[in-house]
Amino acid sequence: MTMHTERRSFLDIDFDTITLDSIAKRLGAITSESPFGYIVTPNVDHVVRLHQSGRQIIGLANAYRGADLCVCDSRVLSLLGALCGVNLPVAAGSDLTVLLFERVIRDGDRIAIVGGDLRMVDSLRRLFPRLDIVHHCPPMGLACNPAARRDAAEFVAEQKARFSFICVGSPQQELIAAEVSTIEGSRGFGLCVGASLEFITGHQRRAPLPIQRIRCEWAYRLCTNPRRLWRRYLVEGPRIFLLTYQWSRRHA
């Protein structure tokens, strides 16, 4: 399966310049018999991590390159791209997930979920009782547990779901999706979409639309969960400005 569109390179990642509606239309053609493909949705946190070193980061870079679609999940990243002359339409994984459940997923479809807890999965089953939802709950510490990532990948391959939502955070979710693609006979389409299902079920709340539109969703998330996110947004995240400056100098 190949879905690549016109791609633009920014910060050493090749992004598909495609809108949410276009992605949803393409995914509408996916069936449970389609050869497995997957989408990755880099945001600022992911891009900063990609520019670190280590074997796992090499695996993440390879997962991005092997993805059928790689789209921008960040309004901040999109703005930085525009300042460097690179057009990156925002196609947030959370918005894509909503579109799929509204327009693409049909009664009777098998949906596989990797990650999340039983409460979230039960809520999703109540919201969509006519879907065949199967769930795999991997252990904590996936980033340092290749055997557990393999178990998750084999679960996805065995289920042959039309769509598989891999919701265990980056880089674990991208590594799992890439591994599924190497398993013979894997089918359907995988989505590396973090907490998107928790937004649908109400277990987490997204920033109000006005805050999203002014590119401050990160600040809303920081205020609602400072203990978990302060380091990501206040220490690691600002590195994106240096990375952008260095990239723009190399491509001037």
Q: How does DSSP assign 59-87, residue by residue?
A: HHHHHHHH-SEE-B--HHHHHHHHHTT--
pLDDT of residue 220: 65
The C-alpha atoms of residue 40 and residue 193 are separated, in whole angstroms, by 8
How confident is the model over 101-154, as pLDDT tens digits?
999 999 999 999 999 899 999 999 999 999 999 999 999 889 889 999 999 999
In terms of residue numbers, what domain contains 108?
Answer: 7-201
Domain-located, residue 69: yes
Domain-located, residue 232: no
State the total domains in the chain: 1
Low-confidence ranges of the chain (pLDDT < 70): 1-4, 53-56, 206-207, 218-220, 222, 229
Q: pTM to 2 decimals? A: 0.91
How confident is the model over 122-134, as pLDDT tens digits?
999 999 999 999 9
